[in-house]
């Protein structure tokens, strides 16, 4: 058995890693163009070779044994080194090509990611980039997505590899005409008397969480507009329908134009993390690496530029209007 498997040891390692990343023998088989039985046999032969159980198998889920966890960790390192060596010899690292599937949350992507697409495609004309937008936690493996950018206060434990690109937050704002007609709230609790325009986002609490750096206020707003994309809520705010709590990148341009103004400028949401997600460190090909590097180069700088506006516009801590 050992002699027969030596010739296909890397193949068996790859199968095991794919099973762990995909969560099932069937999904791993689809990715490797093998049957479920073939994948199962590769893993079983690997266990026989090692004389150790690597996976706990049930009808509902798979789980690594303690031995399996260490073996998979080492296998990833070995497979990455082999792939890197082959790429270096073949010169593939200078020739990104093929289909690249990327995903991003809708409005964040419109502002920060979509403008990078022409730059990337011009640099790598042999890459066919497929871009999709979604507000929900992506299933990268099931969707065949190579890279996703996702925003969340608390990133779920999805098994994906996450790299933090930066942070943003949400701020309160409204049209001047709404505030002229309804008044300007002075404290978060006064928002209960106002029409609040709400963003339904699976990655952020449905309540409004507001912090001034010392106190956290949690509110349950009500109002005439509820949308699962920021653009709906933004248009409601621009139309004078109420007060909105929206990510800074959604409202920065309207604030600069004066079509929206800040409400309770000392208060904002807790930080929202901006994460770059990939299915695995293993089998990250050159076109994916180049896209990831471009995002890591451009997005933090763009977030910082927008953040400067809010830092400059933030009222001084000692500045108070006396009654």
pLDDT in tens, 79-102: 888 877 776 666 555 578 889 999
Within a 10 A sphere around the Cβ of 316, how many other Cβ atoms?
6
196-227 pLDDT, tens digit each: 999 987 666 778 999 998 999 999 999 999 89
Nearest 5°: the CA angle 283, 284, 290 is: 160
Asked if 248 and 208 sit in the same domain, the reply is: yes
Residue 322 falls within a domain, yes or no?
no
Range of the domain at 285: 95-168+273-308
What is the total count of domains within the chain? 3
With 0-12 / 13-18 / 19 or more C-beta atoms within 10 angstroms meaning exposed / middle / buried, residue 39 is buried
Strand partners, 131: 102
Residue with the bigger pLDDT between 283 and 311: it is 311
Asked if 139 and 213 sit in the same domain, the reply is: no
Q: What is the pTM of this model?
A: 0.69
Residue 314 falls within a domain, yes or no?
no
When pLDDT is averaged across residues 23-32 and rounded to a whole number, the result is 88
The token pair at 179 is 């505030």
């Amino acid at each position: 058995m050992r002699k027969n498997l030596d010739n296909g040891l890397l193949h068996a390692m790859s199968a095991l890693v794919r099973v762990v990343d995909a969560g099932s023998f069937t999904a791993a088989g689809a990715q490797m163009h093998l049957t479920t039985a073939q994948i199962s046999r590769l893993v079983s032969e690997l266990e026989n070779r090692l004389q150790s159980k690597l996976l706990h198998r049930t009808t509902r889920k798979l789980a690594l044994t303690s031995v399996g966890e260490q073996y998979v960790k080492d296998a990833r390192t070995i497979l990455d080194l082999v792939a890197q060596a082959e790429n270096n010899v073949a010169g593939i690292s200078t020739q990104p090509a093929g289909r690249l599937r990327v995903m991003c949350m809708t409005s964040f992507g419109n502002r920060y990611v979509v403008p990078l697409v022409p730059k990337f495609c011009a640099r790598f004309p042999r890459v066919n980039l497929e871009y999709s937008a979604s507000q929900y936690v992506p299933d990268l493996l099931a969707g065949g997505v190579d890279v996703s950018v996702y925003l969340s206060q608390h990133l779920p434990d999805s098994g994906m590899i996450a790299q933090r690109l930066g942070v943003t937050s949400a701020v309160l704002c409204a049209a001047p005409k709404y505030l002229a007609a309804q008044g300007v709230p002075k404290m978060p609790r006064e928002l209960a008397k106002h029409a609040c325009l709400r963003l339904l986002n699976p990655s952020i609490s449905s309540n409004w969480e507001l912090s001034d750096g010392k106190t956290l206020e949690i509110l349950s707003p009500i109002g005439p507009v509820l949308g699962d994309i920021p653009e709906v809520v933004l248009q409601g705010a621009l139309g004078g329908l109420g007060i909105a709590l929206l990510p800074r990148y959604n409202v920065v341009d309207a604030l600069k134009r004066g079509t929206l103004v800040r409400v309770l400028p000392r208060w904002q949401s807790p930080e929202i993390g901006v994460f770059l997600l990939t299915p695995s460190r293993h089998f990250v090909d050159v076109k994916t690496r180049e896209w990831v590097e471009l995002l890591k180069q451009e997005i933090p700088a763009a977030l910082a530029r927008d953040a400067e506006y809010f830092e400059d516009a933030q009222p001084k801590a000692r500045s108070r209007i006396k009654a």
